A and B are shown apart, each in its own frame.
Chain A
Amino acid sequence: QQQVRQSPQSLTVWEGETAILNCSYEDSTFDYFPWYWQFPRESPALLIAIRPVSNKKEDGRFTIFFNKREKKLSLHITDSQPGDSATYFCAARNTGNYKYVFGAGTRLKVIA
């Protein structure tokens, strides 16, 4: 079964610090990697995404770093804000069957 793994399971940072969320995968047929954030009692919302042709994707305070050789990604949130407190999911699309597989999530808490 295809897997996407996320670490850590939970993370607490102070306001203004950089939070780093990790994601790894096994299947080389994954060709697109969106990240979602989910606030309590809401559905996941698309945050940022990257394709393996790039090793970096930036959108404001959110940056994905991608290492294709090691099959690893990380989401960096700079100048973390309390409003960034949410669960973050890394997902991967299989180019063969177009399934999106999700990791178990990282719960981020930003303390003011």
Chain B
Amino acid sequence: GGIITQTPKFLIGQEGQKLTLKCQQNFNHDTMYWYRQDSGKGLRLIYYSITENDLQKGDLSEGYDASREKKSSFSLTVTSAQKNEMAVFLCASSPGTGGNQAPLFGEGTRLSVL
């Protein structure tokens, strides 16, 4: 079976800092996603990539950049961390845009900004 690995698991940053989160999957999936989840809330889409070299904005892309370096990896950058920000960033992947296979999630990166 495959796995989605997110690094780091925990990230503590300073206000105004640029922070990068990484995601790797070995499912050979085409499509990858970054979601943000605030405590007790639902998931909001930040960026997604339909295939290698593709990049699409989600509903929450302002304040973030993303990069699909290769098929197996998708990075997310917080361009300027906000003071007291706390959230979990979830990476997911799915085989492709069609079909009946929903995204699978990694374990998440928990961000705290001092």
The residues of A with any CB-CB pair to B shorter than 8 Å are 1, 32, 34, 36, 42-46, 49, 51, 89, 91, 93, 97-105
Contacts and interface: CB of A to CB of B under 8 A. Distances in A.
B31 A98 contact: yes
Nearest to A35: B102
B100 A98 contact: no
Q: How large is the interface on B (under 10, 10 to 19, 20 to 34, 35 or more residues)?
A: 20 to 34
Contacts of A104: 41-42
Counting from the closest, the 4 A-B pairs by CB-CB distance are: A34-B102, A98-B97, A104-B42, A43-B105
Interface core residue of A1, A34, A93, A98 (most chain B CB under 10 Å): A98
Contacts of B48: 98-99
Contact of A1 (B59, B88, B104): B59
Interface string B92-114: 00000100101111111000000
Interface of B: 31, 33, 35, 41-45, 48, 50, 56, 58-59, 88, 90, 97, 100, 102-108
Contacts of B90: 43-44
Contact of A49 (B43, B58, B100, B107): B100
B42 A99 contact: no
A104 B90 CA distance: 15
Contacts of B45: 99-101
B50 A98 contact: yes
A46 B58 CA distance: 21
